[in-house]
Amino acid sequence: MPELPEAENICRALHRALAGEVISAVEVFTPKMRTPLTPLAEASLEGRRVISCERRARYVVCKLDDGRALVMHFGMSGVVRVEDACVPKRKHEHVFIHFESGKIFRFECTRRFSLLEVHPLEENGMPAILNSLGVEPLEEGYTAQYMFERAAGKKGAVKPFIMDNDVVVGIGNIYATETLFAAKVRPDRPANQVTIEEWEEIVSHSRRILRRAIELGGSSISDFLNVDGSEGKFAQELLIYGREGEPCPVCSTPIEAKRLGGRNSTYCPACQS
């Protein structure tokens, strides 16, 4: 579930909670989530200090003082918390990282689709496994011209295209749906038929929507919770996502839906063309 705004809020919260903390022990209760967790317990993390927590795409990278980093992805149901030792272990908490201060970083995932690994950092300050990802939508490289050029020759639907992490990162189903509604572009339009003017609208609205979602703590749809256990409030501002059959908030036409790229895609057949 966590998309860019949710990952950004988790990252900021972890930086506030963990920067400067020194690891004292690692406990692994479950052998495997998306990938094996055993190497985490064998990585000799004791004595390592957390320098910072940063985000790349939907990954959070907690950098350590020895040139390595804890790299995490939250899958569909990953929840992380930083709590005191007095809090009892929850059923689906798979990893505890203890700190000298008494804090415990706890990773919970009911579906076990999440990832938590240790990787060396490259010269660019990120682990090599993230090097092939596309541009960040809140940074300068994400422009209408870039998207127009990447879409050339792409006959597939525009919605899966803007959700492709090889092109631009972190715009998942919720934010792609809201962006295309705001830009008045149907989600099933071939990507190579979107005009440069329409790409200007898509880029502008996606940035606005992502920034607003970050401000409100993300969207709590399904399992997402912030580090402090709070829910994201942006779900209250969603205009079209998940509203199949309801009247369009702009023109009152019933909202329709179709499957695109394995995801349900809601849209207004009157407002979006």
Pair type for strands 59-64 and 68-73: antiparallel
Close Cβ partners of 10 (under 8 Å, ≥ 6 residues apart)? 2, 60, 74, 80, 226, 227
Lookup: tokens for 167: 């092109």
d(CA 173, CA 257): 13
In the set 2, 127, 137, 160, the catalytic residue is: 2
Which residue of the set 3, 8, 117, 201 is catalytic? 3
Report how far residue 220's alpha carbon sits from residue 217's, in angstroms, rounded to the nearest whole number.
Answer: 9
Q: Give every CB contact of residue 53 below 8 A, 6+ residues apart in sequence.
A: 11, 12, 14, 15, 18, 19, 60, 61, 62, 63
Catalytic residue status for 200: no
Assigned token pair, 2: 């966590």
- What is the CB-side half-sphere exposure of residue 229 using CA atoms within 13 A? 3
> Distance between CA atoms of 114 and 3, rounded to whole angstroms?
13
Torsions phi, psi for 85 (to 5 deg): -65, -20
Burial (CB count within 10 angstroms: exposed 0-12, middle 13-18, buried 19+), residue 139: exposed
CA 121 to chain centre: 21
88 labelled catalytic: no
Q: Which residues are catalytic?
A: 2-3
